[in-house]
Chains A and B, each alone.
Chain A
Amino acid sequence: RKEVEQDPGPFNVPEGATVAFNCTYSNSASQSFFWYRQDCRKEPKLLMSVYSSGNEDGRFTAQLNRASQYISLLIRDSKLSDSATYLCVVNMNTGFQKLVFGTGTRLLVSP
């Protein structure tokens, strides 16, 4: 079983749509959780951290369910510029980070 699993997509949605991505992780001792965004042939960039209470940043909402070892990302009012690959990332360590990346979910937003 992969340490971090995601549906690779692609998710094809029109502008303005709401889209949700899911992710599961295998290690119950995981410490912290993130969503990163990666554009084609570029480095990953932190989109947001994910907290147990759920957190929102503008059009983006992240949720964590530790009992089910499940993380989600909701994007409302999709923009063309949201087209990218979204990486679910889990930190295994305390102290310095040891990040484990999912393979990513590709999102394509069309006009």
Chain B
Amino acid sequence: GAVVSQHPSRVICKSGTSVKIECRSLDFQATTMFWYRQFPKKSLMLMATSNEGSKATYEQGVEKDKFLINHASLTLSTLTVTSAHPEDSSFYICSAQGGTVDNEQFFGPGTRLTVL
């Protein structure tokens, strides 16, 4: 089946630093990739949708200058959390769509970010 990887799986950083998270579709070309965030005991919330080669579409309330998304190829999207603060600590999950007729999204294993 379709496989999506994320790297790193866990990151701990100091406040003010920037963190880059990679999302790769390993065995299919992803026409669309999505970035979600999940706080403890909360639902996954869509942050942004990106298509290869074009600017990401951000959901209301998500700062595009803080969460930089690059979708440079059909198999790779990156999310950079700039100047991270403790309130950005969360579980970031990407998903990719494009491997199936019914447009199913395949989720990566997630990245747990802790900002000290």
Interface residues on A, range: 20 to 34
Q: B103, A96: Cβ atoms under 8 Å?
A: yes
Q: B107, A96: Cβ atoms under 8 Å?
A: no
Chain A interface helix/strand/loop/mixed = loop
Q: A103, B93: Cβ atoms under 8 Å?
A: no
Q: Which of A40-48, A55-63, A74-82 lines the interface with chain B?
A: A40-48
A103 interface neighbour in B42, B91, B97, Cβ under 8 Å? B42
A101 interface neighbour in B44, B49, B104, Cβ under 8 Å? B44
Residue of B nearest to A104 (CB): B43
A87 to B36 Cα, complex, angstroms: 15
Closest CB of chain B to A2's CB: distance in Å? 9
Q: A95, B103: Cβ atoms under 8 Å?
A: yes
Residue of B nearest to A88 (CB): B43
